[in-house]
Each structure stands twice: as structure tokens, then as C-alpha cells.
Amino acid sequence: MKAAGVLFSRELALGWGRGGGPLPALAFYAAITLLLPLAGGSDTDRLAAVAPGVAWMALALASLLSLERLFERDFEDGGIDLLMTGPLPLELVCAIKCLAQWITTGAPLALFAPFAAVMLGAPIGLSPLIFICALVGGLAFSFVGGIGAALALGARRGGLLVAAIVMPLFAPPVIFGGAALYASQLGAGGASGLLLLMGWTAAAAALSPLAMAAACRNAVG
């Protein structure tokens, strides 16, 4: 447990310190929020209808920005070899990395998501559900995105490769979260969509570390 705590603290420190921490992702999220009214016109009713979905999609895209370096730094300086021979299973190491990435990037994005949606015209009463969906979905994005980051180790233009691998895997949480928000906006309640999102997130958190560990071993070997 002590080794896990030390690794978690290290990953949090790296997550907050590298490249401005969550600021690039938040800036990208804010840019999408500001540009949409300029591109889509000033019709407030039309913006309000798509605001929750746009805020949700922008969250998925912003989550991509911090994924490329999830394993790349340890791969470049040889740290991943030490992690593989350390006291913790590599699967647990991968899970800790993803959890730290979610806390340093996913959680700040989730806090900003309701503000982005409301600025686009979403009902204020929808804010709690937007935050919950963004928080749960952000965890899924971190774990599923970790698979792409591990598979892209050592590749040129790793960021593009990560996006190509991860975007199809982002589709289910985007669909489930969007369905929950849309149903709630119509007054039908978003419980079913939220439960599906939680189920997908739980499956991603349980299974993704296995795929990440296998990809890291393959990259090192």
C-alpha cells in the first residue's frame, strides 16, 4: 500500500505540473464553448437544444489532450522498466496512472462542464446531472484513453495514433451520457442512460489496466 501511495502522489505531482496541468484541456474546452455560437449562429433556442450534447462531446475531445504523455515519459527515461520490476503489479500501476490523470484533468473538466453547458443555453436545473455525467464519463475516458496511450508507445506522432485508437472507444460513454442528458432535458429522466454510463465506466476501470499492461510489456519487449 505504501508503494501505491508513493506512485499515486508522484503521478498527481506530474499531472499538475507538466505543461500547465489541466489548463490546456480547460482552455480547449472553453474555446469550443466560445466558438460554437460564432459558428452556429445566435439562435438561443437552437443553441439551448444542443448545449448539453455539445458540452459532453467537447469534454471527450478535451480529455484527449493529456493522454499522449500518460506512459510516454516513463517509456523515454526507462522508468517503465523500474515500474515493471517494482513491488506493484503493472496492471495496478496502469490503474493508478489513469486514476491520477482523471483527478488532475478529468475532474477539473467535469467542474467546468455545467458552466459551459449553461453558457450555451442549457437549463440551470440540468447542471447537477451534467456534472455527474462528466465526472463518471471522465473516468471512463481516462481508463479507455490509457489503452491508446499504451499502444502508441514509441510511435511517431503518438498523439494522432492515440486519437485514432481511442475515439471509437469513446463512442459508448458519449452515447450513454448524451442519452441521459437528452432524456432529462425532455423531462423523461436520465437514470437509464446514467446507469449505462456507470456500467461502462466500471467495465473500463476493471478491464483497461489489463490491456494497458500488455501493451506496455510489448513496447518494452
Instruction: Assess if residue 6 is contained within a domain.
Output: no
Rounded Cα distance between 195 and 172, Å, is 12
Residue 209 is predicted with a pLDDT of 92
**Under a CB-based contact definition with an 8 Å cutoff, are residues 75 and 116 in contact?**
no
The pLDDT assigned to 216 comes to: 84
Residue type for position 167:
M
In-domain check, residue 26 = yes
Task: Point out the residues of the chain with pLDDT beneath 70.
Answer: 17-21, 39-49, 154-159, 221
Question: 128 is written with which cell numbers?
Answer: 447537477
Asked if residue 2 belongs to a domain, the reply is no
Q: What's the pTM?
A: 0.88
Q: Are 113 and 131 in contact (CB under 8 A)?
A: yes
Rounded-to-integer distance, Cα 79 and Cα 206, Å: 24
| 78 phi/psi in degrees, rounded to 5 | 85, 5
Domain-embedded: residue 87: yes
Based on the structure, what is the number of domains in the chain?
A: 1
pLDDT at res. 90: 87
Any domain includes 7: no
CA-wise closest residue to 208 among 109, 104, 66, 98: 98
Task: Please give the residue range of the domain that contains residue 156.
Answer: 22-220
